[in-house]
Amino acid sequence: MLDIQNVTKVFGKDTVNEHTALDDLSLHLDKGEFVTIVGSNGAGKSTLFNAICGTFFSDSGHISLDGADITYMPEHKRSKMIGRVFQDPMKGTSPNLTIEENIALAYARSKHGPLGFALNKRDLKIFRDALADFDMGLEDRMKTKVGLLSGGQRQVVTLLMCTVVPPKLLLLDEHTAALDPATSEKIMKITNDMIRKNNLTTLMITHNINSALKTGTRTIMMDSGSIILDISGEERDKMSLNELLDLYTRRSKKVFDNDRMLLGTE
Ligand SMILES: Nc1ncnc2c1ncn2[C@@H]1O[C@H](COP(=O)(O)OP(=O)(O)O)[C@@H](O)[C@H]1O
Ligand SMILES: [Mg+2]
């Protein structure tokens, strides 16, 4: 489904700030896989997502999605196939449009028709029902401007926008990190339900190692632009937080520098 081959990205080439953010990185995901990504600050996790989305072209290597080579495909074209949710609830939705209008726009964009409000009454009912299921008090606020919603509510709208037409790939970049623990837990549950229901191929960056090991089917750990650990199945099921941190220290020859992660907090 997703095939990343030997991708390298160097920022500030030939300057004093030269930094290799992705270092000959390769990763393959099968359809329906749900992979969690952990790693210290600056490991290159978000840069990996940027490379997949086409925020920049990689210096070398190839990326293909569902059999198509997207290495040089522009970002706006990839966005029709890839859903992305950021940590910041302000990103992803338009504050001056209503919930209904935001979802309609996402729908129109994914259907690669002209931009417009293309949801019919039946679609709207489906989304109102979906919102009711999420139990976030959103179903009766379809005509409310998104700017008036809480962070958690906005993340739910963004998730719904990403899945209104199921994407080939869903990228979640610490999308619950800015929320309080209770809301974060709720959004994770909604995320899991959406992924399972649509059988979405997913990459999720998280600072919560416990949640990384429990969520999805496979966990990778990044450091200095490389994947230093890739576990699934029984090996992953048996892995404890401490064992994972031990492995990190041995393989990266560093102590983990992500405090929130060490604490295992939400
Ligand atoms: N657009 C950019 N220009 C220069 N340096 C960047 C850029 N984006 C990321 N970096 C650098 O690349 C490294 C990896 O960043 P990032 O992928 O955001 O890390 P994280 O794993 O915390 O998400 C960091 O050192 C960061 O400063
Ligand atoms: Mg990041």
Segment 131-159 shows an average pLDDT of: 92
Contacts of 74 (CB under 8 A, 6+ apart): 54
pLDDT at 161 over 50: yes
Handedness of CA 43, 46, 49, 55 (dihedral sign): negative
Which-ligand-closest: CA of 40? 1
Q: For 183, list phi and psi in degrees, rounded to 5.
A: -65, -40
Cβ of 44 closer than 6 Å to ligand 1, yes or no, is yes
Ligand 2 centroid distance, CA of 49 (Å): 9
Residue nearest to atom 24 of ligand 1 (CA): 42
Cβ of 168 closer than 6 Å to ligand 1, yes or no, is no
How far apart, in whole angstroms, are the C-alpha atoms of residue 53 and residue 75?
Answer: 6
Task: Give the pLDDT band of residue 112 (cuts 50, 70, 90).
Answer: low
Which-ligand-closest: CA of 42? 1
Segment 35-48 shows an average pLDDT of: 95
How far apart, in whole angstroms, are the C-alpha atoms of residue 266 and residue 264?
Answer: 7
pLDDT at 118: 60
Task: Give the pLDDT band of residue 265 (cuts 50, 70, 90).
Answer: very low
pLDDT at 262 over 70: no
pLDDT above 90 coverage of the chain, percent: 69
Beta bridge partners of 64: 3, 69
Task: Give the pLDDT band of residue 266 (cuts 50, 70, 90).
Answer: very low
Cβ of 258 closer than 6 Å to ligand 1, yes or no, is no
Task: Give the pLDDT band of residue 258 (cuts 50, 70, 90).
Answer: low
Task: Give the pLDDT band of residue 213 (cuts 50, 70, 90).
Answer: very high
pTM for the structure as a whole: 0.92
Give the ligand 1 atom nearest the CA of 12.
4
Average pLDDT in the chain: 90
Measured from the Cβ of residue 222, the count of other Cβ atoms closer than 10 Å reads 25
CA 155 to each of CA 54, 122, 147: distance values in angstroms, whole numbers, following the listed order: 22, 24, 12
pLDDT at 90 over 50: yes
Cβ of 43 closer than 6 Å to ligand 1, yes or no, is yes
How far apart, in whole angstroms, are the C-alpha atoms of residue 176 and residue 66?
Answer: 28
pLDDT at 202 over 90: yes
Cβ of 39 closer than 6 Å to ligand 1, yes or no, is yes
- Domains belonging to the chain, first-starting first, are 1-81+169-266 (3.40.50.300), 92-166 (no CATH)
pLDDT at 263: 53
Where would I find the beta strands (DSSP E) of the chain? 2-11, 19-29, 34-39, 60-65, 68-69, 82-85, 169-173, 202-205, 218-223, 226-232
pLDDT at 120 over 90: no
Task: Give the pLDDT band of residue 83 (cuts 50, 70, 90).
Answer: very high
Q: Which of 8, 9, 10, 11 has most ligand 1 atoms within 8 Å of CB, for mutation?
A: 11
How far apart, in whole angstroms, are the C-alpha atoms of residue 26 and residue 212?
Answer: 20
Cβ of 20 closer than 6 Å to ligand 1, yes or no, is no
Ligand 1 centroid distance, CA of 233 (Å): 31
- Pick from 69-78, 99-108, 223-232: least confident: 99-108
Q: Which of 254 and 157 is assigned the larger pLDDT? A: 157
How far apart, in whole angstroms, are the C-alpha atoms of residue 72 and residue 60?
Answer: 11
Q: Which of 231 and 260 is assigned the larger pLDDT? A: 231
> pLDDT, tens digit, for every residue of 175-189?
999 999 999 999 999
- Pick from 55-59, 117-121, 128-132, 181-185: least confident: 117-121
What residues does the ion ligand 2 have nearby, CB within 5 Å? 45-46
Query: To which residue do tokens 């939400």 refer?
Result: 266
pLDDT at 209: 86
- Write a three-state SS string for 126-184: HHHHHHHHHCCCCCCCCCCEHHHCCHHHHHHHHHHHHHCCCCCEEEEECCCCCCCHHHH
